[in-house]
Structure 1
């Protein structure tokens, strides 16, 4: 069957067009635009008109792609920025005007979808998954046995993301050392609280999101992004430290010129790298595995389950159009 999944996050708007057979994606196309929906939300509590228009413009293009793909169903979700914003209904009405059926999902559902997307590469293995986005970071520990519901031990969504930490702490360009230390301490405290309640930590930490994929591209100075190289690539604490050191003395414009960085992501990359560093430190990990199979893959697989009349493995049924 054909499935379309739209994920409207705090930094990026993404579309996945997937062919699903026997519960697995066998062919897919992914489109991503950096729309920075969450710009200013942490301070104002509202989505700006400009940010909403950027998302509407991106989704107008997505709708054309969806029409050409002719899927059996479409699922559209919004995450942290829309959860926080007082005026999220304005954006939702605009998306409905494009023919989409948007739904704002809770942080726990976001974590479950992401874990499900990642876990297909780690069947029957206990893993930890971190999804570091623009406004929040979702953490989950558990395992997945094909054909059974997810077994998750601890799932939490924390309001720590690259856009949020940048807006809240990193005012300088480049930020002062004291700002970097304050931002790191804020993230470290919350991540430590999560890991303290996990018990025995899984050997494998898997991370998803634009920050970690970009860190791999930075560490290896990829002039052209290579998803096959990035997917399931190991990112060490030394890699992350080197990227932080590279960016901390540079302005946003200078960061945008570094190999492996999309210029539109440059304003939030240092903040994102600090978050990944603190996730590793708090969990006691020396490295993590980067996955490109994130929320979109979990969503597409869940939609296929619903279309097949199955009970979704993540315990949540999406609205479809």
Structure 2
């Protein structure tokens, strides 16, 4: 710790509070009501994601019509909020919520799991496709292409909030996060995740969608998204400070809870990609859509 403090002083690492201010979680206030960056990140992810989804479904062979995308936005929001909260409770902090069950409903106190949010969105997709008699996997393929936008804005919000910081380091771009409890310079792991889970993942999926016939192979884009996210999260976890509630997982296994939760994602993604070629490629027109293949 003394070494990190000495190097931080010599290198003049940026203090997070100097960079973002002392109340960085609040973007602005409207009539005295604080508007948080998290709320703006959710809205940005949803609106940009919806805009991009409409561009995708305008292409030949879409598995859904515009009205299905409209329905999906509502159910996806429910899935993200409910799934993210339930996932956080079950995966990361169950003991605390057993002691104080009412805290489960205090969303303003924070605590969301991305893996839980993904499960919530999958439930939403299952409901919409079952109700409308659409292809679950092909619907997932299109939704998977817009997910990186939400991940990108969400990770930026993590950084602005000064949370989910990285491990202590001496790299030149390290940042001091006082809320970590020390003045050690740390990896801005939130930005690493924004780059990998957001920009890189979006670019790769966009290339497969626009430059290949991947969208005609049910499950391919969905599986590729699971692989890209799984690899990105697994790697970044080595630079991210483990969740204090699950430090025992790292001590026992050498891997963080986040890494363990990505293993099923990776396996499912590999299976989906490997088997996508053998699935039926003929695409039926969707009722209410002009898209044909």
In which range does the TM-score fall when normalised by the shorter chain?
under 0.3
Question: What TM-score comes out, normalization by structure 2 length?
Answer: 0.26
Larger strand proportion, structure 1 or 2?
1
